[in-house]
Amino acid sequence: MNSSRSSKIFGLKKAHQQTLSFVVKIDRADQIMKIESEMEDCSLEELQSELPNQQPRFIVLNYLLKHPDCRVSYPMCLLFYGPSGCSTELQILYAGSRNHLVKECEFTKCLEIRDPEDITEDYLNSKLL
């Protein structure tokens, strides 16, 4: 991922107003990561609908998290979406790139999902609280 894309992702850390996400794909021909879509003030259902059925993606998510003590935070996390029906070659390509993305963007939380419907408020709260 080039520095302008990294800067864009780092910019999420400062955007404490809403849920924001980037869906990132790997261009196999060029062997680079590309931001496929950006969503501002999006619902988790909208994010779910952005994901392809048979191809993995990385999702950079700045999520509105409501704590039990009424505090609000916006943790940034990486979701690795690897649908069970996708090719082994794609799974390996994305799995091998995940550590690089985590290191470059300094993610502290990296979650893995197999189905878009797994991206729910309950799931995120259970992993991020």
Distance CA 101, CA 110 (A): 10
Looking at domain 3-128, which of 3.40.50.2000, 3.30.420.40, 3.60.15.10, 3.40.20.10 is its CATH number? 3.40.20.10
pLDDT given for residue 15 in this prediction:
52
pLDDT given for residue 88 in this prediction:
92
Share of the chain above pLDDT 90, in %: 64
Asked if 5 and 35 touch (Cβ cutoff 8 Å), the reply is yes
pLDDT at 33 over 60: yes
Confidence tier at 122 by pLDDT (50, 70, 90): very high
Confidence tier at 5 by pLDDT (50, 70, 90): low
Residue type, 54: Q
pLDDT given for residue 64 in this prediction:
86
Map tokens 């690089």 to a residue.
100
**Token output for 83:** 């649908």
Give the closest residue to 81 by CA, choosing from 24, 121, 123, 126: 24
Other CB atoms within 10 A of residue 42 CB = 18
Q: At what angle do helices 88-105 and 3-12 cross, to 10 degrees?
A: 70
